[in-house]
Amino acid sequence: MGMPQELPRSFRRIMMELAREPGHPAGDPQSGYQLVVPLTEDLRIDAGLWDKYRDHYRVTRFRADGERDIGHVLHGPGGNWTFHYDISGDDNDDESGYRLQSERFDVGEYVSIKDDTGMHTYVITLVDYL
């Protein structure tokens, strides 16, 4: 077994929590996502490193009921980013971000993600080096 691949310093851990929405007037810090992705200097997901480090672009989805799903952040057509949880190839569980390629990943910014229940908005609560 070889040495683990050294990741560029631009890789960050990003925490996002469900923002205020109908049914959650105060938001929900128990529902959200943790991303591990590299960011460019202007705090956007770095597509340029994806080919070399794609296995390290990771997502963990967490929910108030304790459910956790771990997957990959995939770079697709038109520069779109999606979250893929079933690595065996079932597309039914994929989620897509709304214009994630142009979002700034900074604390206090909002990001929209479409899951199987619809579009939801999340607030970025942490951006930290690995």
How many Cα atoms within 13 Å fall on the side-chain side of residue 15? Answer: 11
pLDDT given at position 77 = 83
**Cβ atoms of 72 and 82 closer than 8 Å:** no
Q: Per-residue confidence of the chain (130 residues) as pLDDT tens digits?
A: 444 568 999 999 999 999 999 989 999 999 999 999 999 999 999 999 999 999 999 999 999 899 899 999 999 888 899 999 865 555 556 787 778 888 999 999 999 999 888 999 999 999 999 9
Q: Which residues of 114-128 are buried (b: 16+ CB within 10 A; e: fewer)?
A: eeeeeebebbbeebe
In a domain, 6, yes or no: no
Taking Cα atoms as reference points, which of 115, 83, 92 lies closest to residue 18? 115
86: left (phi over 0), alpha (psi -120 to 50) or beta: beta
Total of domains in the chain: 1
Residue 119 within a domain:
yes
Considering the domain boundaries, does residue 64 fall inside one? yes
What pLDDT was estimated at residue 99?
A: 82
In a domain, 51, yes or no: yes
Residue 5 belongs to some domain of the structure: no
Element (H, E) at 37: strand 28-38
Residue 1 in any domain: the answer is no
Give the structural domain span for 117. Answer: 11-129
Q: Taking the C-alpha atoms of 122, 100, 106 and 52 in order, what is their torsion angle to the nearest 10 degrees? A: 130
Query: Quick check: is 2 in a domain?
Result: no
Q: 84 in a domain, yes or no?
A: yes
Q: What is the pLDDT of residue 1?
A: 45
- Residue 60's pLDDT is what? 95
Given this model, what pLDDT does residue 92 score?
57
